[in-house]
Amino acid sequence: MALTAENLSVRLGRTRILRDIELSAKAGEITVVVGPNGSGKTTLLRALTGDVPYEGRVALNGVNTRGLSAADLAQLRAVLPQASALSFPFTVLEVVRLGLTTGQAVAGFDTSDRLPLAALRRVGLGGFEGRMFENLSGGEQQRVQLARVLVQIWDPVLKGTPRWLFLDEPVSALDIGHQLLVMEIAKDFARAGGGVLAVLHDLNLTSMIADQVILMHHGQVLGRGAAEDVLRNDTLSTAYGCDLKINTAPSSTKPWLLPQSAALPVLAVAE
């Protein structure tokens, strides 16, 4: 069971933003897409979720997503967008409850408030259900949205079919503690058999949690595989157009890096 893309291309007018992407992400794993600004990583996620018109084929668990209705897809996957403004003043509970709009959150229907409340506690916002969404901080709003997305596919595997979590920069507005919390949630979801595809900015965070890393550059895949195979001095320096040096984090073999610049003195480098 996997998420696959074949010959995936996206055009904007006459320019191609994505060119012939081939990828495969396994259920039970966390796949992270990284790359510099404008490399096409968010476009890739949006093509995979059908939010931009694309050429090529995207399949979820072996089924072409073009052949699935919105309701079928909603049962298979949930998507956390980068930022979402609400057009009306909903309470936190009402927002999280939207995850139950269609589809089946768990085996056997449960449309009570049990799941939304559990999801809120899971993202560290237990007791926030009565607050107005618009009055929360950016980071809190992001976690409320994550709770909503979690509710939608609460069981990572439903009737033997793995379900997918698409996360577009899920930690961009979060402090370090909550970054780790969200990563833990993603990891739990994958460990329970679900698939996770996330777009991240932070290379060290990526290195820490990714089972597969996809490095994007100029709308193409520059490298994909395990973190230690993709996050290398040469590939990263090419992709980001600057001098980057890989180190190893203490008590781990995972790559760990610190930006280096000819113009700026490096503050602390663990050689």
CA atoms within 13 A on the CB side of 88: 3
By beta-carbon proximity to other proteins, the closer residue of 49 and 142 is 49
**Shortest approach of other proteins to residue 68 CB, angstroms?**
11
Q: What φ, ψ does residue 149 adopt, rounded to 5°? A: -65, -40
Nearest to 232 by CA among 218, 246, 242: 246
For residue 230, the 8-state DSSP code is H
Q: Residue numbers of the site for other proteins (CB under 8 A)? A: 49-51, 53, 69-71, 73-75, 77-79, 81, 84-95, 98-99, 101-103, 113, 117, 129-131, 152
**Shortest approach of other proteins to residue 252 CB, angstroms?**
35
**Shortest approach of other proteins to residue 44 CB, angstroms?**
15
CA atoms within 13 A on the CB side of 155: 15
By beta-carbon proximity to other proteins, the closer residue of 86 and 249 is 86
By beta-carbon proximity to other proteins, the closer residue of 84 and 220 is 84
Cβ distance 92 to 133 under 8 Å? yes
> What's the rounded Cα separation, in Å, for the pair 29 and 212?
8
The H or E element containing residue 96 is helix 92-97
**Shortest approach of other proteins to residue 61 CB, angstroms?**
17
By beta-carbon proximity to other proteins, the closer residue of 113 and 155 is 113
By beta-carbon proximity to other proteins, the closer residue of 99 and 170 is 99
The H or E element containing residue 220 is strand 220-225
**Shortest approach of other proteins to residue 47 CB, angstroms?**
12
Cβ distance 171 to 203 under 8 Å? no
